[in-house]
Amino acid sequence: MKLPEPLKGHLATILVTAIAGLIVFFATKIYHDISAPLLAHVVPAISNATLLSACLLLLLLVILFAAWVIYLHRIHKQPTPSQLWEKFHDRFGDFDAELGLWRHKSKKGYFCPNCKVKGIESQMRETATHISCLVKDCLYWVQKPQPELALANTSLEGQQTKPSLRPGIEIVPPPKD
């Protein structure tokens, strides 16, 4: 006989459930057969003070068990996504506004702002002319400030002027090292 496909996937679950149900059924039958003589002959022979002590001991055990469960729950509690996000952002220190890059509190070098927004801590590679992100999908890079360019952009009065792009100049990606 061939079983249908949906039944094959749930066959183990059905069998385990059926066996567990049979075990519970026979366990309750045995419990009722044993507890009837106990309740009829032994429990009336126990004094009220002893029953009260046993009940208080059981109450104390229940309270201790509840406290233990609460303690374990608090220890193994996972941080919320907002707590994880805040913890991630706390790793970074100063933001270099001139380059538009982040510095890390405990590591040297610059870190990619695009990757930081995505929750990735990506240290950037520095070369002689530029700083580039190492993440394949990011491709973020910044040209390093050139000191000779800053000197060339100083006017005669000694005031610093910003370099301007002329029409027709294209910004190309940095060369691969």
Tens of pLDDT, residues 158-176: 444 444 444 444 445 555 6
The answer to whether 130 and 143 are in contact (CB under 8 A) is yes
DSSP 43: G
Tens of pLDDT, residues 46-57: 888 888 999 999
Supply the Cα-derived Rg of the chain in whole angstroms.
37
pTM: 0.42
Nearest alpha carbon to residue 146 among 95, 96, 99: 99
Domain ranges of the chain: 7-75, 81-152
The answer to whether 87 and 94 are in contact (CB under 8 A) is no
pLDDT of residue 167: 44
Specify the higher pLDDT residue, 23 or 77: 23
